[in-house]
Structure 1
């Protein structure tokens, strides 16, 4: 099926280059990338907010995506 989409110039150049390197058409590449995106596990805001209860302290433990340092804690304490 034929359709028209607007792709920013920078991304268009990237897609054209990638299609060329994979020896495929731009259309096939865009379809492949779209399908990959649809098949990827969705990360929902709810998942990011989930926490566990520490068996040691009984306190909630949140995942921040990076370790929290004592400097981070001190900076927050200084704000209070």
Structure 2
């Protein structure tokens, strides 16, 4: 099924780079990341959300990492995530 989503430029570049490195398409990468997020343990999410402001457009928590997060950082987290 086709759909259109708005992805901020920085994240689009990050996801596109990861997709190329993994030899897959952007769409397949985003589906895989969504599946991983849905399978992640839900415990503690309610508590964590109260500590961060929430983006009104996405409903996602906003946090500052203290430094830019790049493809290597995302790749390291993905490598640590059990499938």
Q: 1:17 to 1:41 in 2, by over 3 A?
A: same
Q: 1:8 to 1:39 in 2, by over 3 A?
A: same
Instruction: Indicate the residue corresponding to 1:53 in structure 2.
Output: none
**Which of 1 and 2 has higher RCO (CA within 8 Å, sep 6+)?**
2
Paired residues, number: 47
Q: Which has the higher strand share?
A: 1
Q: CA RMSD in A?
A: 1.7
**Structure with max Cα Rg:** 1
State TM-score, norm by structure 2.
0.52
Structure 1, unpaired ranges of 5+: 48-80
Structure 2, unpaired ranges of 5+: 49-83
- Aligned structure 1 segments of 4 or more residues deviating by more than 6 angstroms: none
